[in-house]
Amino acid sequence: MMDTHAVFRQPAGRRLLVLGCGKSGLAAAELIRREGGTPVLLDRSPSPGAVASLAAKDIACIASESTLPEGFFDGVVTSPSVTPEHPWLREAGRRSLPVISELELGALHWQGRVIALTGSKGKSSAVKCLTDTLCLAGHRAFTAGNYGTPLCARVLECESNGKDAVAVTEVSSFQMEHTTAFAPELAAILNLQADHLDRHGTMAVYRALKFRLFSAQRPERGDTAFLPTGLRAPEDRLPQGLRTETFGTDAASDWRYDAGAVIGPHGLTVPVAGYFRNPVLGCAAALITTMLSRFGISPAAIAEGFRTFVPLDHRMQRLTTVHGVTYIDDSKATTLTATAAALRMTEGPVRLIAGGLLKESDLTFILPILRERVAKAYIIGKDTRPLLNAWSDAIPCADCGTMAVAVGLAASEASPGDTVLLSPGTASFDQYPGMAARGRDFAANLPFA
């Protein structure tokens, strides 16, 4: 049977198309070039600076809206931003060109160990904690994938293509669309909620892509799949004989979070301090504990990893306390489900700053937690009116428009013991280039002590 990955595993002398001129595409092209292949980057509108920079590395970059360049190519490496329906990929199919993801290309050349994690929410924080704790325990560990640094870039950066290192890889559903041979020794789905259905179409497709993470694992090597308790794998999605373990907060879990600790088999107990010590993130703590334990990390080292963990920016990030009022930046919350989780994690009365570009139509499922935790909501952004209409009968709301007005009003009305929480529950692109800029604007408007 022909090895369809041979052209990517041994790119020397091959001519390969790379779709997309972002971080993933650039890293893939440079790796192909280093391995002796001829990469040709294709982008809708590459900047003149990018074209010149690539030319200096002897990498061609072509601008095209929808067509592939003429001539012979051995295969295609695609970036996560390129949808399966894109004309480039449709034409690649008509030409019978093999297509893989940048993630798969990186995995074919990475010589170290691989831990991988996917899910709908909270992946990046879990990946960071796994990586930080592995480093604390003396391993050479690096984050990779959707976390921010493409796996191809890690191959290029690390001596001997990462031999004797660990790639802790965050995997998105977009990356799995053209990934079939990626085989992490430890792989997990943190959680599964409806997301990215504008691209994937149905929850069934999205779910199948998430479960593809396990499809190339090797039971004979001792590989393990980790699943939230109650999440069943679709039929034939796990290799026969693959070891599986469950995690969660109930007694049926192999590893469970309960009252500030993770309890594993044979009474193993790991105390959880800091960011993950709460019922919402307890499932993530259970997963982190089980993956690290199976990697051979001691309970004491895992506990120290939780204790010293520094959260990522804009994810329930405590910025300051002024006159007894705490200010938390959770700008990463771009759905109301994420906002509800943030409210469950926040102590005391909450003054909630929410709003922007709504990604969902049901605005009322969150009302019970709003009534329970929120003293007042301060609404900003384009979709202010729908939120006010849905929430005003349940809790006090203010139409603020901008972040500066919302922060100023919330700060003036807050009492000692209150929390001013930015957890918008929406996309940010009505007023900001991204969620990070929204979080920075929140921080810039905070009162001084």
Query: 97, 120, 149: which is the final residue of a domain?
Result: 97
CATH label of the domain that carries residue 135: 3.40.1190.10
- Pair 29, 177 in one domain: no
Exposure string of 234-250, with b = 16+ CB inside 10 Å and e = fewer, is eeebbbeebeebbbbbe
The whole-number average pLDDT for the span 421-446 is: 97
Instruction: Write the pLDDT tens digit of every residue in 293-303.
Output: 999 999 999 99
- Pair 146, 257 in one domain: yes
Instruction: Write the pLDDT tens digit of every residue in 262-272.
Output: 999 988 999 99
Instruction: For residue 284, tell me if it sits in a domain.
Output: yes
Closest C-alpha among 91, 50, 81, 43 to residue 64: 43
The band of 243, judged by pLDDT with boundaries at 50, 70 and 90, is very high
- Pair 224, 275 in one domain: yes
Instruction: For residue 429, tell me if it sits in a domain.
Output: yes
Tokens 């109930």 belong to which residue? 250
CATH label of the domain that carries residue 77: 3.40.50.720
pLDDT at 234: 76
Strand order in the sheet with 224-228: 141-145, 166-170, 113-118, 186-189, 224-228, 243-248, 255-258, 261-263, 269-271
Coil vs helix vs strand at 63: strand
Provide the domain count of the chain.
Answer: 3
Least confident of 47-51, 135-139, 234-238, 306-310: 234-238
- Pair 62, 198 in one domain: no
- Pair 86, 109 in one domain: no
Please state, in angstroms and rounded to a whole number, the distance separating the CA atoms of residues 289 and 19. 37
Residue 413 to residues 43, 351, 378, Cα–Cα distance (Å): 50, 9, 11
Instruction: For residue 277, tell me if it sits in a domain.
Output: yes
Identity of the amino acid at 254: D
Plot region of 292 (φ>0 → left; ψ -120 to 50 → alpha; else → beta):
alpha
DSSP β-ladder status, 261-263 and 255-258: antiparallel
Instruction: For residue 8, tell me if it sits in a domain.
Output: no
- Pair 149, 234 in one domain: yes
pLDDT at 449 over 80: no
Range of the domain at 182: 104-308
Least confident of 189-203, 382-396, 414-428: 189-203
Instruction: Write the pLDDT tens digit of every residue in 105-124.
Output: 999 999 999 999 999 888 99
Instruction: For residue 261, tell me if it sits in a domain.
Output: yes
Instruction: For residue 168, tell me if it sits in a domain.
Output: yes
Q: What is the mean pLDDT of the chain?
A: 94
pLDDT at 377: 98
- Pair 139, 288 in one domain: yes
- Pair 129, 237 in one domain: yes
- Pair 373, 331 in one domain: yes
The tokens describing 31, both together, are 């790796």
pLDDT: which is higher, 192 or 237: 192
- Pair 324, 413 in one domain: yes
pLDDT at 46: 87
- Pair 292, 193 in one domain: yes
Query: 46, 81, 97: which is the final residue of a domain?
Result: 97
Query: 308, 332, 347: which is the final residue of a domain?
Result: 308
Instruction: For residue 184, tell me if it sits in a domain.
Output: yes
Instruction: For residue 449, tell me if it sits in a domain.
Output: no
Instruction: Write the pLDDT tens digit of every residue in 29-73.
Output: 999 999 999 999 999 988 888 888 898 888 999 999 899 999 999
The whole-number average pLDDT for the span 377-390 is: 98
pLDDT at 194 over 80: no
CATH label of the domain that carries residue 361: 3.90.190.20
- Pair 69, 143 in one domain: no
